[in-house]
Chain A
Amino acid sequence: AQSVTQPDIHITVSEGASLELRCNYSYGATPYLFWYVQSPGQGLQLLLKYFSGDTLVQGIKGFEAEFKRSQSSFNLRKPSVHWSDAAEYFCAVGVRTGANNLFFGTGTRLTVIP
């Protein structure tokens, strides 16, 4: 069965510092991979996605993620964090079957220190 693990429940970084949020998945084939962000009281906004091709994908707000098949990982990175990046980040897996529903990780809450 497919699953997603986000090992870091809460991360605190200083504004301007680099960021890496970890995501590992379990799935028998190459999944579709997504990162969503949820600001307090808001819905989920798509940051970026990987379907196939180039394993380094660029997203909105200066985020990027790299798919590493050998490590079953899809880590999210940003070179310089802004205070407005404080939010909860969810990694999700979509499977290549008839159902297109997503399986989400438990999320990582990002706090940004001025």
Chain B
Amino acid sequence: DSGVTQTPKHLITATGQRVTLRCSPRSGDLSVYWYQQSLDQGLQFLIQYYNGEERAKGNILERFSAQQFPDLHSELNLSSLELGDSALYFCASSVDRGRAETQYFGPGTRLLVL
């Protein structure tokens, strides 16, 4: 158990809908990262938040957004969903003291868009 929690574990929805994925980082970790794992794209970095502020952006679509709340949990919002958004979405966290640190991954949320 990494200490990172993600809810829900599974999500099934229809095209055009909007969903919210939730992540709670390890205690004491200030950074949260979101990754998408799909069959065709592999594991891709989406976005990072550090202590409530956006730190870095990767291959995140404009239909996707995220935020980190004062209690450091984070939410990833996916809107106008398409079939191709079906994937496993991971959250990871790290302390992030400004140098290289290990990212600890949650169990993921599996999203299926029908």
Contact = CB atoms under 8 A, between A and B. Distances in A.
Interface of A: 32, 34, 36, 42-46, 49, 51, 90, 94, 96, 98-107
Question: 9 shortest A-B CB distances, which residue pairs?
Answer: A99-B56, A104-B43, A44-B105, A101-B45, A43-B107, A32-B100, A43-B105, A106-B42, A51-B100
26 contacts: A32-B100, A36-B105, A42-B107, A43-B2, A43-B90, A43-B105, A43-B108, A44-B90, A44-B92, A46-B104, A49-B102, A100-B48, A100-B56, A100-B94, A100-B103, A101-B33, A101-B45, A101-B48, A101-B56, A101-B58, A102-B35, A102-B45, A104-B42, A106-B42, A107-B42, A107-B43
B91 to A, nearest CB: 9
For the complex, would chain B's binding face be called helix, strand, loop or mixed by DSSP majority? Answer: strand
A34 B100 CA distance: 11
Nearest to B31: A100
Given A43-B106, A100-B33, 9 more contacts: A44-B90, A98-B56, A100-B48, A100-B96, A101-B33, A101-B56, A102-B35, A102-B45, A107-B43
A51 B44 CA distance: 21
Contacts of B33: 100-102
Contacts of B18: none
B71 interface: no
B30 to A, nearest CB: 11
A43 B4 CA distance: 10
Contacts of A32: 100
A96 B101 CA distance: 11
